[in-house]
Amino acid sequence: MDKWKDELGSSRSASWTVDAIRPRLQDWTNRRWGHLSYRLVQMLSGHGCFGKYLHQIAGREPTPRCHHCPEVSDTVAHTLFDCPAWEAERRPIANITGLDASTLAEVISKILQSEDAWKAFHEFSERVLTTKENAEREREADPESAPLRRRRRAGRRRREFIRQA
C-alpha cells in the first residue's frame, strides 16, 4: 500500500483524482460501500459532460464554458462546488457531511466515512450529469449549433470514447 501510494505520488499520471484519493488510499481500498457508477466516475475523473473536457479532450464544444451559468470554464470543481444551477442538488451533500467542502479530497474523505454521504454524492452525480447530458443532446440536435457538436453515429462515437479511455 505504501509503495503504491509513493508511486501514485511520483507518477506522471498524477491528476486531480489521484491527488484527492491518495491521502485516503487505504480507506478507499478497504471501503465497505461505494459502488462506482458510470456518472460517479465521471464526477471523480472529470472525463464526462464538463465544458472543459468536451472542449479540450473530446473536441465537441467550441469553448470550455458552462452552459448553465456565465462561468467561462466548466470543470468538475465548478459543477461540484460553484455552479449556481446545481444549488438544490448540492444541498443534500452539505446536509449529510455537515461541511461546505471546497476540494474533492474533502468530499472523498467524507464519503469514505459515511455511507449516507457516499449515497448523497452518488445521487448528486447521477442527477446533475443526467441533466447536463440531456442539455448536450439538445445542443447536438440543434441545427443552428456548431458543426463539431453534431451527433455522430453511435458506432463511431463509441470507438472515440474507447480511444480516449
Binding site for Zn ion (CB under 5 A): 66, 68-69, 71, 83
Radius of gyration of the chain (CA): 17
Residue closer to Zn ion by CB (options 22, 64) is 64
**Whole-number minimum distance, CB 19 to Zn ion, in Å?**
23
What does the alpha-carbon distance between residue 61 and residue 139 come to, in Å, rounded to a whole number?
10
Minimum distance between the CB of residue 89 and Zn ion, rounded to whole angstroms? 12
- C-alpha 23/C-alpha 67 separation (Å) is 33
Q: Are 105 and 16 in contact (CB under 8 A)?
A: no
Q: How far is the CB of 125 from Zn ion (least distance, A)?
A: 16
Cα(71)–Cα(69) distance, integer angstroms: 6
Least CB distance to Zn ion at residue 86 (A): 8
Report the residue number, 54 or 66, with the smaller CB distance to Zn ion.
Answer: 66
Task: Name the residue nearer to Zn ion (CB basis): 69 or 146.
Answer: 69
**Single-letter code of the amino acid located at 60:** R
Considering the complex, what minimum distance in angstroms separates the CB of residue 78 from Zn ion? 6
C-alpha span between 27 and 139 (Å, rounded): 40
List of residues 6+ apart from 142 with CB closer than 8 A: 149
Closest CB to Zn ion among residues 52, 68 = 68
Q: Which is nearer to Zn ion, 68 or 110 (CB)?
A: 68
